[in-house]
Chains A and B, each alone.
Chain A
């Protein structure tokens, strides 16, 4: 599972990754800039004049105009005000308006990133490289600061904007390079055609999800299928199902592991998850205890998320926190717990509930009860990447088995 920053949804990440590939820009730069500008909020709006819009905060009609800069209906490379805005008199003609992608929805992830890239980042980076000849990291920092402060500002490495931006670059560059390789330092306007004046198409794949279902077309013999039909009936409907459909299996464990530890410990771990914080989660866990006789023989299960113990495994009689605990009896018991967790947003990081039933392994039910799944800490914000099932027994004479774990996420658009 490829890395993405905690606040970057899978939807935005698809657009970032697609644009990074298409324009040959490093993902860590796009992640860092978008984090700094909008914290990955698609609808971010800065109402200070001139307004800033969307992921990259397109600011000023020379960047945010629709469909072309200055709201021109068609590209005009000699549009006087735009040539002033772009500083051609000072920097030379470093950009053609005809190279710039059009915008119909400024809050679209694809369109917003494409406009930032084609209307500024690729060509301005090429110019910075020619002028300063520095290493890629320094040039990317200059690129970010010019975006923030304007083309005419003198670069200040200590500018306040750079503190967080540099931190994001530092945090994410190594991880992205480990996955993508070192960046070549040669961004392009159209997937390899540097210098073209043909407006590049939007990056393939990074489409905003279709929020509506289109009744699938009944195809006829001999008809010529069009790109529009494929995009509506295949791409759009697939995206709709992916983002909204049912319950998605995020991870499953079907190999039982056990513990006799009387201190809470990780028994089963699902890693490499990538569940956006917006998607509700449902977890099913089947666990049991066996005993060697005696008393004080309960065992229970808890939850750890991204390294945070949100509810420690309990080991008191039929406890109702975490995933619950079985009784202190000397007989074997089986249990099944189900936990529902809502979107992990501010003020709602404890919104969860669960149920637990304990039974004789091949007999009647014993206890049914509601459980508090998040008793010790908030469920972390951002992407859920790892869930561990904690376990704890009351004495070494009890053995806890965590046998089956299912983690599902639920459509949220």
Chain B
């Protein structure tokens, strides 16, 4: 349990002399409470699209400078899409690399359900939204994570909704997470994968 409790903020009166004790209780402690127990913090992300036509998995977008303790659950949302110039093998998908370890490699298999998932092998443009959740990274639990992907036409109805295995290739590293890369791979050079947005959040986890 959180050991610093919430104090209903003081109603200040005209002319009163504000004391250090009041500021410490009503400002410092309440701000600490909101920061440590009340916040789903955005740890980092990218709104600058990255793209690739590579048929081998590569890092498309990298978010570094993170500092997420292993006890903090993490959720990541990724918006990605493909454009094609026609032809076959036009899928594209996204994977996940954490602190240099590819925990789930990107795949271009038709509607693959690992990592952040993959789009369909179609000649049409498709967009996808994936969300993954990772629990505490500790012994026996370096793979416990899950996700979902929704695939739709860029301005049309949904096509695929499915669950994802997130950490399919390797364990999530045990140390503090400092960098997350979104991996990408296409089925052919006539397909371009765009990773448009990435948002990484941590959930509060520890007592003060």
The interface of chain A, by Cβ under 8 A from chain B, is: 14, 18, 201-202, 204-207, 226-228, 230-231, 234-235, 238-239, 241-242, 245-249, 251-252, 254, 272, 284, 286, 288, 332, 334-336, 338, 355-357, 359-365, 368-369, 401, 403-404, 406, 408
A359 and B144 contact, Cβ closer than 8 Å, known pairs A205-B11, A249-B204: yes
A165 to chain B, nearest CB (A): 27
Is A361 in contact with B11, judged by CB distance below 8 angstroms?
A: no
Which of B1, B142, B168 has the most chain A CB atoms closer than 10 A to its own CB?
A: B1
Closest to B10 in A: A204
B202 to chain A, nearest CB (A): 10
Closest to A338 in B: B133
Is A227 in contact with B204, judged by CB distance below 8 angstroms?
A: no
Contact partner of A249 among B10, B12, B114, B203, CB < 8 A? B203
Is B14 in contact with A241, judged by CB distance below 8 angstroms?
A: no
Is A365 in contact with B10, judged by CB distance below 8 angstroms?
A: no
Is B38 in contact with A335, judged by CB distance below 8 angstroms?
A: no
Q: Which of B46-54, B92-100, B159-167, B186-194 contacts A (4 or more CB under 8 A)?
A: B159-167
Contact partner of A288 among B9, B140, B148, B206, CB < 8 A? B140
Is A361 in contact with B146, judged by CB distance below 8 angstroms?
A: no
Is A362 in contact with B136, judged by CB distance below 8 angstroms?
A: no
Q: B39 on the interface (CB 8 Å rule)?
A: yes
Is B13 in contact with A206, judged by CB distance below 8 angstroms?
A: no
Which residues of chain B come closer than 8 Å to A14, judged between CB atoms? 8
Is B138 in contact with A403, judged by CB distance below 8 angstroms?
A: yes
A406 and B205 contact, Cβ closer than 8 Å, known pairs A227-B16, A230-B12, A335-B144: yes
Chain B, 163-190, contact with A by CB distance < 8 Å: what is the 0/1 string? Answer: 1111110010000000000000000000
The interface of chain B, by Cβ under 8 A from chain A, is: 1-2, 6-16, 18, 26-27, 30-31, 34, 36-40, 71, 73, 113-114, 133, 135-136, 138, 140-146, 148, 163-168, 171, 203-207
What is the CA–CA distance of A408 and B206 in the complex, to the nearest angstrom? Answer: 12
Closest to B143 in A: A359
Is A231 in contact with B37, judged by CB distance below 8 angstroms?
A: no
B68 to chain A, nearest CB (A): 15
What is the CA–CA distance of A368 and B73 in the complex, to the nearest angstrom? Answer: 19
What is the CA–CA distance of A216 and B48 in the complex, to the nearest angstrom? Answer: 29
Which residues of chain B come closer than 8 Å to A206, judged between CB atoms? 8
Is A362 in contact with B203, judged by CB distance below 8 angstroms?
A: no
A201 and B13 contact, Cβ closer than 8 Å, known pairs A248-B38, A406-B73: yes
Which residues of chain A come closer than 8 Å to B206, judged between CB atoms? 252
